[in-house]
Amino acid sequence: MFNLFLTAETANSGVGMLTSFLPLVLVLVVFYFMLIRPQNKKTKQEATMRSNLQIGDEVVTYGGIIGIIVSIKDDTLVIETGNERSKIRILRKAVESCLTVHEEETSK
């Protein structure tokens, strides 16, 4: 008779443990879909935008500099800014957005 009581108590504690972890699991799932997944999607879009940059595109850097791409190397760009045609060499990672709309993007 003592064994029956012990197994019922063990079963109740297992259910209790499961119900105590359920809110934590739900918070983690919501955290994933609200924060992690959108951030990964944004990172992929930015990487695609940076890999598709072409000479002649108008870009904005994270520092707020607006310029036109004159030269492209592996991980650097040379952009031309201002009326005096100043040229600045920047990293490809420093490009925040591309203001030039390409034909491939409009057909999607």
> Distance between CA atoms of 98 and 52, rounded to whole angstroms?
10
Residue 105 has pLDDT above 80, yes or no: no
Q: What pLDDT does 11 receive?
A: 52
Rounded Cα–Cα distance for residues 9 and 2 (Å): 11
Structure tokens of 55?
Answer: 């000479």
Residue 4 is predicted with a pLDDT of 47
- Please identify which residue in the block is written with the tokens 């109740």: 12
The two structure tokens encoding residue 9: 């108590």
Residue 15's pLDDT is what?
Answer: 74
Q: Is the pLDDT of residue 2 over 80?
A: no
Q: What are 39-98's pLDDT values in tens digits? A: 999 999 999 999 999 999 999 999 999 999 999 999 999 999 988 989 999 999 999 999
Given this model, what pLDDT does residue 21 score?
87
